Homo-oligomer: A and B are copies of this chain.
């Protein structure tokens, strides 16, 4: 074929494409081709690849020459396989037109089914199927989808909320049902539907100013154009922002021969997973609806039935499983799902349709799963020999692990709580929050710092921003494969769906459940693992990972690969212990100021404040002497827990003003202790105020102004260390000077440290105390002059939070004022405080490491910003040759995974 291939055909157990061609054909198209290739019953069709989407936009909404001809040829071939011909009045072939991007964007783009139904072909189809009800129902659906997607959305109409053509048509349907006194669509007769479609067409023309096209080819090209147009729809763009999908990828269009799950009682449609996507359990798992089209299952209009008997539980023991109703098809499906999993070596999410007793596969893709399921599947598949450990580790994402580590509802609190109702457990973990009923309100209150639960009848792509802002999502309708469930699972967000007893009264901003009324702003708690809903704010606790064998096993895999050490940021023995349980190999950041507590005048926080409010060295020394025993005891306790591992202790860092109490009671008490009046106290407090405290008198700058503060801290560290050593413990304290910009600052501090070291040696009569002296690299100038700094520093710890602040000139406290605009306008792809900006900040890190090691080849290098728990950033740190990363205890498993992935990726 000398001409350019615009169309990739599949069907009849072979295809032009295959699963490797996702970038070109989109996920759906590539997998349809693959399924055809491995002999599965796929309705024939073709894919117009993603690059044509780009071409379409470049050409201002036109298609390249030659596309139409190739489409025509493909449709002819489809007719040969499936029977019938597109637009043929006697034996019309109907088509589905669907989007399909590289990466799944569930519900974000458009689908039009039953394309090819016209006044002419309707008659032929009725004659052939002898099922006028089915044909008019299909026609009704076509008009609805087409007028919504092609005529209204792609046509640029922007109706008021709730006034879209789809809603107006559905309202006609509701009226008809009321008039006829029936509840379900399926109860309407062929005549009812024939009348209804006439009303539909009149309404469409009245509202959108153009008739519904009565020409098969016009319908097809309208649908193809609408799919391309939907790529740049608002919802799709918003979703891409959240998921970091590049705008230039584009979508493919899949045109496929229709098969009908709604052709009567011998037809059905369903979606399924080859394993349970919520638990990871290796059983076939899915839902189906009799006499329905696929959209009915996903949209959550009717609550679907379980595919297998095994899946049936208390709440749905009375419904019919596919296993029983279509046992032959079910058997076929079991074989297919097994074949697919072996073929793809991963859990698959499939869509199928039974048309008059015959099974058709409409889609297959790697199935989304929650974190616990991801962990379990990775370990199980490894044990089954389906994949190796490298593959198991590579598949895991940070988000999956976060989900496993997510808080859950405290079982004890649950025991004592009164259950409000129960739904389907669609998203993991537990959550509590106050009720909101709209996505916008969820966003608004989230921005105010409130925890909210978004409660909806069902969610749609229009709700995505609110779902993102909410702690959890609760829906009255929809199943485990509904929009809400899919999105929540992808994000690892707690979600309960299909909670049938729930009645939302939007006008009065309240909901009624079993006679109990809850208003907006009332607290509820969701258990996403059981589907239980409680009134009030139940405690959340961290999950019990020690007894999670899948998690423990997976974590043990990481240690077989990674070379990067993972430490933790911890300020108390409790945190330190917890981090050890997560696999931490030391403390990378112990913030000395974080260990102080207590408002009583003999408690360390109070004494620290007294020290800070002192106005002379003498006053300060009195407070420091009182603080000293606390400091030593607490440092000792943490060093003790971390015996055998290094502990980096950062000297006092924050601007002093941060410690000044705001309430007058505490102020007066402190003033009294200092022997000054409140006016004098307030004067001192005002004196500590700074315009830009982040760049003010903090870190090493305090140490230079008040050397006695440094002395006391260093003495506490070294005395704690030698005392533990003498008790037979193995301690490795690393004294870290923060906020360094110039080597002279470190020289100055090191003189004090070395002097105190000598004094402690003398006091204990020993000749050595294991310790290191190093610095944070968090000020650009320190990175630029790292060669000089390393003359004095024995280790560097990159403080990437501050380094990012200074490199960008972004105050982390104030970035909320503009960063959302930056992300919305694509000025920045990511929040640089979440993922290291490799192009900019990364240069300073690379420079810092390279120059530092040029002076001191054995310089120990780590990172202790929050990036230490970000997967991409950890991989970056590995590639830069750092010795360790340090992150919050909770992120330690993620860092371990990332460190292993970094090695596996090479």
Contact = CB atoms under 8 A, between A and B. Distances in A.
Interface string A804-845: 011111110110011001100111100000000101110110
Interface string A772-792: 000000111100110010000
Given A691-B813, A822-B704, A807 B780 contact: yes
A821 B705 contact: yes
Interface string A687-731: 000111111110001101100000000000000000000000000
A745 interface: yes
B806 A809 contact: yes
A471 interface: no
A692 B822 contact: no
A483 to B, nearest CB: 32
A175 interface: no
A768 interface: no
A813 B690 contact: yes
A744 interface: yes
A646 interface: no
A802 interface: yes
Interface residues of A, number: 49
B817 A696 contact: yes
A742 interface: yes
Contact of A694 (B695, B808, B818, B828): B695
A809 B840 contact: no
Contact of A741 (B744, B808, B843): B808
Contacts of A827: 704, 742, 744-745, 748
A844 B705 contact: no
B695 A785 contact: no
A702 B821 CA distance: 10
Given A704-B827, A814-B697, A825-B748, A809 B741 contact: yes
Nearest to A840: B781
A739 interface: yes
B697 A780 contact: no
A800 to B, nearest CB: 13
B779 A808 contact: yes
Nearest to A810: B695
Nearest to A822: B704
B748 A811 contact: no
B810 A840 contact: no
A108 to B, nearest CB: 25
A691 B693 contact: yes
A747 to B, nearest CB: 8
A811 B785 CA distance: 20
Contact of A843 (B695, B704, B784, B807): B784
Contacts of A742: 808, 827-828, 840
A814 B695 contact: yes
A769 to B, nearest CB: 27
Given A806-B809, A818-B704, A695 B692 contact: yes
A681 B741 CA distance: 41
A841 B741 CA distance: 11
Given A744-B827, A779-B808, A818 B701 contact: yes
Contacts of A741: 807-810, 840
Nearest to A695: B811
A761 B739 CA distance: 51
Contacts of A748: 825, 827
A701 B691 CA distance: 20
Contacts of A813: 690-692
Interface string A499-533: 00000000000000000000000000000000000
Contacts of A807: 741, 779-781, 784, 806
Contacts of A739: 809
Contact of A840 (B784, B805, B814): B784
A589 to B, nearest CB: 18
Interface string A436-472: 0000000000000000000000000000000000000
Contact of A784 (B695, B778, B802, B844): B844
A832 to B, nearest CB: 9
Contacts of A690: 811, 813-814, 817
A739 B810 CA distance: 10
Contacts of A695: 692, 694-695, 805, 809-811, 814
Contacts of A693: 691-692, 811, 814
Interface in A41-84: none
A808 B843 CA distance: 17
Interface in A838-876: 839-841, 843-844
Contacts of A692: 692-695, 811, 813-814
A811 B696 CA distance: 6
B802 A781 contact: no
A477 to B, nearest CB: 37
Contacts of A785: 839-840, 843
B781 A704 contact: no
B696 A814 contact: yes
Most B CB contacts (10 A, CB to CB) among A745, A788, A818 go to A818
Contacts of A788: 839
A808 B828 contact: no
Interface string A665-700: 000000000000000000000000011111111000
List 7 A-B pairs, minimum CB-CB distance, nearest first.
A692-B811, A695-B811, A691-B813, A696-B814, A781-B840, A697-B817, A779-B809
Given A691-B694, A695-B809, A784-B843, 13 more contacts: A691-B813, A692-B811, A701-B821, A701-B822, A704-B821, A741-B809, A744-B828, A748-B825, A780-B806, A781-B808, A781-B840, A785-B839, A806-B807
25 contacts: A690-B813, A692-B693, A692-B814, A694-B809, A694-B811, A695-B695, A695-B809, A697-B818, A702-B818, A704-B818, A704-B827, A705-B821, A739-B809, A742-B827, A742-B828, A745-B827, A779-B807, A779-B809, A780-B780, A780-B840, A780-B844, A784-B840, A785-B843, A802-B809, A806-B809
